[in-house]
Amino acid sequence: MTLRSLTRFSVPLFNRFLLHNKTSVRCYKPRRALMYVPGDDTRKLSKAFKVDVDCIVMDCEDGVAMSRKETARNTIRKLLDNGKPLKPRDYDWAIRVNSVHSGLLEEDLRQVLTAEFLPDTILLPKITTVDHLKYFSDQVNNSIKDEEQINLVMYIEDALAMINLVDLCKSAFELSKTSKFKLTSLIFGSDDFCASIGISRSENASEILYARQKLVVVAKAYGLQAIDMVYIQYKDLEGLKRQSDEGARMGYTGKQVIHPNQVPIVQEAFLPSQKQIEWASAILNAFEEQQKIGKGAFNLEGTMIDMPTVKQAQNIMNLMRSV
């Protein structure tokens, strides 16, 4: 992939990778918009690869009826055997398999992991305990070749997973030391989460603020992307924009989308605004001046500017230079 597509907040993570592992940088996949396509729908699948989107998810799970699971698996397998479709810019080629407790995962993974070409990423839904991760790790290690590696994205979508969240991240990192997967992102599966605590989600989602913000903090503590909930009223693009901006303000780096029309709004929301760029630029200019004359914290139009503020400004400018 090129650096052009790096998401808004990937820069700190990116810098961290730079220090340790130059290869990882080249593998970095932005996921501002993560678009679901039913794995059994060849028409929608072929249309999806024409959309300019960071991440395409070929779905085997909730978007596919029970009677169509086999069809979805076979359709996706055929695509994998043909290799990753080329697009004007690189993207994340991903598959959402069924959950560990569905009874469908073993066959899902067998088809995916023995294909001619591996996808970039597997999205594993409904993880709640460390045992789910161990099961996944074993399946991956038994099926893919030694030199290969695959990205893992974990769904956090019930109360128990939310409680076990830190342990799940620690365990994934521990397992990946000797396994062939690498955890890159957490997805907030808000609708399943709401079902698990017995509620319906409201428009502003204030009733799940604790969960929504905890997920961001844990993700960032472990250098992971945080992917926000689906906006299901897919015809309401204003509502989508409002919720996307809200997620970005909280620290989410991307959002799940269920319709191509949602993509540009979401990918825009996870880039810095013109105002933020001007703000960042002014701060960095002033900072340079102050450093020359040996001052640390300084004031700019009545606001005290110190190192954390300068760092935020740097993040914004680095990203904009990349895109």
Task: Single out the catalytic residue among 131, 138, 167, 306.
Answer: 306
Give the footprint of a second copy on residues 59-118 (CB under 8 A): 62-68
Candidates 24, 141, 176, 213: give the one binding a second copy (CB under 8 A).
213
Give the footprint of a second copy on residues 158-177 (CB under 8 A): 158-160, 162-163, 166
Phi, psi of 24 (to 5 degrees): -55, -35
What residues are paired with 154 via a beta bridge? 124, 186
Candidates 149, 312, 318, 322: give the one binding a second copy (CB under 8 A).
312
CB of 257 to a second copy, least distance (A): 10
| Residue closer to a second copy, measured from CB, 139 or 190 | 190
Q: 296 burial class (0-12, 13-18, 19+ CB within 10 angstroms)?
A: exposed
Stretch that binds a second copy, among 17-25, 110-118, 138-146, 296-304 (CB under 8 A): 296-304
Which residues fall within 8 angstroms of residue 167, CB to CB, at 6 or more apart? Answer: 130
How far is residue 70's CA from residue 39's CA, in Å, rounded to a whole number? 10
Stretch that binds a second copy, among 14-22, 23-31, 176-184, 219-227 (CB under 8 A): 219-227
Does the active-site annotation cover 306?
yes
With contact defined as beta carbons under 8 Å apart, do 44 and 38 qualify? yes
Stretch that binds a second copy, among 44-52, 145-153, 178-186, 213-221 (CB under 8 A): 213-221
With contact defined as beta carbons under 8 Å apart, do 89 and 5 qualify? yes
| Residue closer to a second copy, measured from CB, 103 or 308 | 308
Give the footprint of a second copy on residues 122-161 (CB under 8 A): 157-160
Amino acid at 198: G
Which residues fall within 8 angstroms of residue 74, CB to CB, at 6 or more apart? Answer: 111
| Residue closer to a second copy, measured from CB, 50 or 170 | 170
Give the footprint of a second copy on residues 193-212 (CB under 8 A): 194-200, 202, 207-211
Long-range pairs, 196-203, Cβ under 8 A, ≥24? 196/157, 196/158, 196/159, 196/160, 197/159, 201/229, 203/239
Binding status of residue 307 toward a second copy by CB under 8 A: yes
C-alpha 165, offset from chain centre: 16
Give the footprint of a second copy on residues 233-292 (CB under 8 A): 233-236, 248-251, 253, 258-259, 276, 290-291
Could you give the residue numbers annotated as active site?
306
